[in-house]
């Protein structure tokens, strides 16, 4: 190894060490900051996988009402919906209601075929997997099935209600 490469490696190691110390110091400062918030995680009741899976059942039951506003009520005010049968990203209540006004005309009934639940903390969970929707064409009555993959990100609200903050659903690429 040349002297130059030794000096270069030493300089890089020094920069990395300084950055690590700075990051650690910043983390300690943030962790020790008095935010006035209560340590909710210590006393919050842990959510179970079964409860998370039940959130889809609530959403699917809302679909069965045929009321797009009831479905939209399950989404947070700032939720983002990337829907299965639309190219438009829906990022506010009016857009989410608009999507479901059209989608619900097909009388969708969802069935999960695979689910993976990640409990991030007592207030945040992700449910991802695959599902199928039985649809009925409103004009012809013809029945069809759409296979799709999904991701739901849920957050527990201050009133204890779980709402969807992000929902992505897309048709399976292989049919």
Cα 49 to Cα 29, 55, 118, distances in angstroms: 35, 10, 8
Q: What is the mean pLDDT of the segment spanning 40-48?
A: 68
Residue 149 · residue 130 · CB < 8 Å: yes
Q: What is the pLDDT of residue 45?
A: 77
Q: For residue 142, what are its two tokens?
A: 């013809």
| More confident site: 99 or 35 | 99
Q: What is the pLDDT of residue 175?
A: 61
HSE value, Cβ hemisphere, 13 Å, CA-based, for 95:
15
- The distance of Cα 140 from the centroid of its chain, to the nearest Å, equals 34
Q: What is the pLDDT of residue 174?
A: 83
Q: What is the pLDDT of residue 77?
A: 96
Q: What is the pLDDT of residue 44?
A: 64
Q: What is the pLDDT of residue 64?
A: 97
Local confidence band at 1 (pLDDT 50, 70, 90 cut-offs): very low
The proportion of the chain whose per-residue pLDDT surpasses 70, expressed as a percent, equals 74
Beta strands 162-171 and 124-136, pairing class: unpaired
**Fold classification of 42-171 (topology level):** Nuclear Transport Factor 2; Chain: A, (3.10.450)
List the domain boundaries for the chain. Answer: 3-37, 42-171
Burial 90-108 (b: 16+ CB within 10 A, else e): beebebbbbbbeebbebbb
Q: Which of 13-22, 43-52, 67-76 has the highest mean pLDDT?
A: 67-76
Q: For residue 93, what are its two tokens?
A: 């209540």
What is the chain's mean pLDDT, rounded? 83
pLDDT tens per residue across span 2-38: 444 444 443 333 333 333 334 333 343 444 444 444 4
């Amino acid at each position: 190894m040349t002297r130059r490469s030794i000096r270069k490696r030493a300089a890089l190691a020094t920069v990395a060490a300084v950055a690590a110390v700075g990051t650690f110091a910043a983390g300690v400062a943030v962790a020790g900051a008095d935010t006035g918030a209560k340590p909710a995680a210590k006393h919050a009741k842990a959510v179970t996988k079964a409860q998370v899976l039940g959130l889809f059942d609530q959403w699917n039951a809302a679909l069965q009402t045929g009321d797009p506003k009831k479905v939209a009520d399950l989404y947070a005010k700032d939720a983002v919906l990337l829907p299965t049968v639309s190219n438009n990203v829906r990022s506010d209540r009016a857009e989410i209601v608009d999507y479901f006004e059209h989608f619900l005309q097909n009388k969708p009934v969802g069935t999960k075929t695979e689910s993976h639940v990640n409990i991030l903390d007592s207030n945040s969970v992700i449910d991802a997997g695959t599902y199928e929707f039985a649809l009925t064409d409103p004009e012809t009555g013809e029945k069809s099935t759409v296979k799709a993959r999904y991701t739901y990100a849920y957050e527990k609200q201050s009133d204890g209600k779980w709402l969807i903050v992000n929902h992505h659903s897309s048709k399976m690429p292989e049919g």
